Chain A
Amino acid sequence: MSYIQNLIAFFEDSSIADSIRENDTLFPTIESIHVVAICLVVGSILVLDLRLLGFASMNRPVGRLTRAILPVTWGAFAIAASSGFLLFISNATKYLANGYFDAKIVLICMAGLNMIVFHAVSTKDLPQWEKQKSPPLRARIAGALSILLWIAIVACGRWIGFTMQEL
């Protein structure tokens, strides 16, 4: 645990973290970039999830849609994670002590796991069902779960701002 505490302190006490913490415009700008990035992450994933649920883009085979969307998602996620990290280190100790921040990170991991599990389970027989308007049950579950998780992630993200302990 001490090693982790040292690592956190290393970032939190850095001059970069200092600037982000105190500067007039740095935090709001990084936060705005974070908002743009997460909107693209959530918005692009929603396109895939709606396809898995058989609600939208039905004329597109699942595999082809996935290959079109995921680069956008991953690119946006990289920006979201980097900007998120910069925001995090500006007040790392307090964010870690915030339950909603912790939950948000856990939920993001779960959303990732959902994607990995679905990919592992569906790659083999994807060609059999990817053109169907109504995909198999496991695809629909993966899509619904993904939507629920990302709604919860956005909610947690917003709740962080209302629950920071000041002392």
Chain B
Amino acid sequence: MLALTGFSKWLAATSLSHTIQTVTWIIPTLQTIHILCVANAFSSAVLVDLRIFRVFERDEPLREVTRRFLPPIWPVLLILLATGSLLIIGEPRRSLVNTTFYLKMALLLVAILLTATLQRMVLAAPEVFEDRSRQLAGRALATVSILVWCGILFAGRWIAYTQAG
């Protein structure tokens, strides 16, 4: 914990951090790009989950829906990593000494594993959730996926409400 505080202080003293802190439009711009990317990644994951529930594009095979929406998530996550890193560098205390930030990262890890697994499973064996015995497993996966992704967004917003200055 003390190491994180020390690292956080060190980061805050770098010239990159100083630039991000003092040029007033940088942080809002980074956050805006971050939100737009979250919207894209989140919606992509959720639409596929909704397809598993046969509530969205039920006339399209799950494999097709998955192929259209899941692969683009990965490059978007890279942009999120970039904007997120710059935001952390600009305001280290907001995240690095904030439990909510680590909760968000843990949920993100789960979401990445879940989504990647889903993508791999469906693209490898397109009928995997079609047969009745597997339908429950598919819906369970989709439910957890939606909950975890929502959890990431909640945690993301809550960071600001548990930071201490």
Contact = CB atoms under 8 A, between A and B. Distances in A.
Interface string B13-46: 0000000000010001101100110111011101
Given A28-B161, A158-B35, A35 B156 contact: yes
A27 to B, nearest CB: 8
Interface string B129-152: 000000000000000000000100
A44 B40 CA distance: 8
A131 B40 CA distance: 24
A32 B162 CA distance: 14
B154 interface: yes
Contacts of B36: 42, 151, 154
B9 interface: no
A153 to B, nearest CB: 10
Contact of A39 (B42, B68, B161): B42
B153 A39 contact: yes
Contact of B38 (A31, A32, A39): A39
A32 B35 CA distance: 12
Contact of A68 (B57, B64, B150): B57
A22 to B, nearest CB: 14
Interface string A51-68: 000001101100010001
A120 B143 CA distance: 37
A154 B160 CA distance: 18
Contacts of B38: 39
A84 to B, nearest CB: 14
Given A28-B157, A46-B43, A158-B32, A36 B56 contact: no
Main secondary structure of the interface of A (DSSP, over half): helix
Interface string A148-160: 0001001100110
A64 B57 CA distance: 9
Interface in A119-167: 151, 154-155, 158-159, 161-162
A72 interface: yes
A154 B40 CA distance: 13
A107 interface: no
Contacts of A35: 35, 153-154, 156-157
A40 interface: yes
B143 to A, nearest CB: 15
A94 to B, nearest CB: 18
Contacts of B28: 155, 158-159, 161-162
B56 A68 contact: yes
Given A40-B46, A159-B28, A31 B157 contact: yes
Contact of A56 (B32, B47, B59, B68): B68
Given A39-B35, A72-B47, A155-B32, 7 more contacts: A28-B158, A35-B35, A42-B39, A43-B40, A43-B44, A154-B39, A161-B28
Interface of A: 28, 31-32, 35-36, 38-44, 46-47, 56-57, 59-60, 64, 68, 72, 151, 154-155, 158-159, 161-162
